[in-house]
Amino acid sequence: MGNQQALIDIVDENGNPTGYAKTKREIHEQGFWHNAAHVWIYNSHCEILMQLRSKDKDSYPGLWDISVAGHTESGETPIQSAVREMKEEIGLNPEYGKLEPEGIYIISQPIEGTLWQDNEIGNVFFYKFNGSVDDLSMPDGEVEKLEFVPIDRFEKEVNDVELRKKYVPYQPLSEYYSWVISRIAVLCKK
């Protein structure tokens, strides 16, 4: 699994560096603001790659999540973090010019099943990948399964009270997932 002892830079609520760094555990136990990379992978068939989080994860084990996501380690830029996480989690070495920064998503919520608080500035990227799940691997053990999900099915599931329970509950859930769905619906047709 990811390096639990790696330091993560603490930022303020606007993403400005504070000059301090802590471990992931300390960041969440104390509710410090920090950067993360969210990479949404899609294909020309308007499908989104989803990952099933390992049952051994300390937060949201066994739930479906963003294609690739992870904390930005101390000294990294968000795009460097995105590239590192793509290699670590799914064995994909992206081309920098094809990793599209799309914006920021702010997450401030308790992490269900823990006493932790997640105050995260999610740097969101989209990446078009027309290979198959069989072309990917799960080298670090953080991901249990990968699946391309048709965008219309994903939209239906995250808007259904019961079906959305299988996804990591980013708050407000419908807002974040709806934004991602609308952007990918446009990008996949290019």
Which residue segments constitute the domains of the chain, with CATH numbers given?
Answer: 7-187 (3.90.79.10)
Asked if residue 111 lies in contact with residue 118, where contact means CB atoms within 8 angstroms, the answer is yes
Whole-number pLDDT of residue 115: 87
Distance from the first to the final alpha carbon of the chain: 35
- List pLDDT tens digits, range 129-147: 999 999 999 888 889 999 9
Alpha helices, DSSP H, located in the chain: 24-30, 78-90, 151-158, 173-187
State yes or no: pLDDT of 121 exceeds 90: yes
**Helix H or strand E segment including 41:** strand 33-42
State yes or no: pLDDT of 3 exceeds 60: no
- List pLDDT tens digits, range 7-59: 999 999 998 999 999 999 999 999 999 999 999 999 999 999 999 999 998 88
Angle CA(142)–CA(93)–CA(178) in degrees, nearest 5? 65
Whole-number pLDDT of residue 88: 92
Quick one: DSSP state of residue 178? H
Average pLDDT of the chain, as a whole number: 91
Q: What is the pTM of this model?
A: 0.92
The tally of CA atoms less than 13 A away on the side-chain side of residue 15 is 14
Count of beta carbons in the 10 Å neighbourhood of residue 151: 18
Whole-number pLDDT of residue 184: 94
Confidence class for position 187, pLDDT limits 50, 70, 90: very high
pLDDT greater at residue 29 or residue 189: 29
* Residue 92 main-chain phi, psi, to 5 deg: -105, 125
